[in-house]
Amino acid sequence: MIIPARRVYYLLLVGMVMAFFLAIVTSIQVGILAIILFNLVVLSLTILDGQRVKKNRVTVNRHPLPKLSVGRENTVTLSIQAKNQQAQVILKDNYPSIFSVSNPTLETTLAPHTMEELSYSVFPDRRGEFFWGDIQLRQLGTWKLGWYAWKAQGNQKVAVYPDLIGLRSLSVRLALNQVGTISSRHHFHQGTEFRELREYVTGDDPRFIDWKATARRNRPMIRVLETEREQTLIVLLDRGRLMTAQVQGLKRFDWGLNSTLSLALAGLNRGDRVGIGVFDRDIVTWMPPERGQDQLFKIIEHLTPLQPKLLEPDYFNAITQFLKQENRRALVVLITDVIDTTASAELLSAMERLTPRYLPFCVTLRDPQVDEIAHQQTDSLMNLYQRAVALDLLSQRKVALGRLQQKGVLVLDAPVNQISEQLVDRYLQIKARNLL
């Protein structure tokens, strides 16, 4: 397909002006004939210019797309190869139309026999499978009169997963922490597992002196204990009505899913058995606790297709079903959201069932916009009303979570865009303090 370039329109405009003056000097018939002939010449040259591109058109390939991460900027790269002449190219990739994109149209000029890589980023706001179509290209002819337009093969089906980019970053962070401070520090005399015997030094707790070893070696020996590593972590993720709300560009459930995977990665990295349950009225997905990195891959594959439902979650039933599945002591992390004390009454009674056999931990996903409204300056009656509502919501939320804490439930209430990092940090603190 041939598309006229901007130069063609300038030439046609010049031809009209020339024909106008020619008609004045000679006759109208001569002016009309002149402009028709001029236009035919220009359009013929335009078509010829575009057709000449055909044998020297560039080749373009899209790099294989990896698994994309929801709620992240994912880079897409295209490689363009020029042949034996300079190539001025405009291209547009046929990405899913529902995605936000950084640069819909890409342009470049390549020297003969050179290759260039062009990139743009897409921002998926939902998980699932999506299709990339053929790549649309335009290449300008040598005379800069006509663009030759065609499509390059690029059909590809791509899966959008939870935040895999964040998981890779977290994996690096956990690996570095292994030789760092909080994560890798041995908390002597605060754990339950025997690590080693060593000589007693001033400042050691005499309660940990091993008297049998002391008698054998004729010098004070002390037992060094460290935090038990192989424990059980269970994550129960709510997919009920409140989790369908759109917050910061993603559904609240997606934020919860991302934090679930981050916590699972941290738990598996620390040698814990990790199990996952997703519930609304019932537990719809249950993955028994296991160790090893294979468990993380299984969790990702099982949880990626799940979507939130417009159903009121049944916390009591979910906890009851969990108790039938797992009887070992475990850290039970329930990820959900709360509105007020009335709506959270069932959550409170359900979490009470976990104490004292399990260590219950309630994680709630807060909307940062509510915080922003609550602390903004009010310059109108409408802003004043919105601020009052936001402050009331935060106050009721604080009371509801305070009641959970009074019953011995650990609580984390954080903005959705910070929840993954704060949850992993809190988990590492729980492990370090041997609370489980």
Q: Please, which residues have CB within 8 angstroms of residue 409's CB and are 6 or more apart in sequence?
A: 351, 352, 354, 355, 360, 361, 362
Query: What is the arithmetic mean of pLDDT over 45-52?
Result: 88
Nearest Cα to Cα of residue 157 among 96, 72, 91, 92: 96
Mean pLDDT of 378-385: 82
Per-residue CA distances from 326 to 25, 281, 282, 367 (Å): 99, 19, 16, 32
Both tokens of 109, joined, read 């000029």
Q: Which residue did the predictor score with more confidence, 220 or 240?
A: 240
- pLDDT (0 to 100) of residue 181: 41
pLDDT at 183: 38
194-205 pLDDT tens trace: 567 788 887 777
Q: Say if residue 308's pLDDT is above 50.
A: yes
Q: Tell me, what's the pLDDT at 188?
A: 45
State residue 182's pLDDT score: 42
* Average pLDDT for the chain: 88
Predicted confidence at residue 125, as pLDDT, reads 92
Q: Which of 100-104, 127-131, 310-314, 388-392 has the lowest mean pLDDT?
A: 388-392
Question: Tokens 């609304």 sit at which residue?
Answer: 280
- CA–CA separation, 333 and 336 (whole Å): 10
pTM attached to this predicted model: 0.79
**How is residue 324 written in tokens?**
């039938």
Expressed in percent and rounded to 5, the helix, strand and coil fractions of the chain are: 40, 30, 30
Contact (CB, 8 A) for 38 and 178 = no
pLDDT for the residue 195: 61
Label residue 302 exposed, middle or buried (CB < 10 Å: 0-12, 13-18, 19+): middle
Region 151-171 average pLDDT: 92
The gap from C-alpha 149 to its chain's centroid, in whole angstroms, comes to 36
Mean pLDDT within 265-288: 95
pLDDT bracket for residue 228 (50, 70, 90):
low
Per-residue pLDDT tens digits for 315-347: 999 999 999 998 889 999 999 998 777 778 889
Distance (Å) of CA 36 to CA 48, 49, 237, 366: 18, 20, 72, 69
**DSSP three-state, residue 202:** coil
> What does the pLDDT average to over 412-431?
94
Q: Is the pLDDT of residue 357 over 80?
A: yes
Whether residue 74 is predicted with pLDDT greater than 80 in this model: the reply is yes
Range 229-239 average pLDDT? 90
Q: With 80 as the cut, is the pLDDT of residue 403 above it?
A: yes
Whether 106 has a pLDDT exceeding 60, the answer reads: yes
**pLDDT of 32:** 85
Q: Evaluate whether 328 touches 231 at the Cβ level (below 8 Å).
A: no
* pLDDT higher than threshold 60 for residue 408: yes
pLDDT of 178:
64
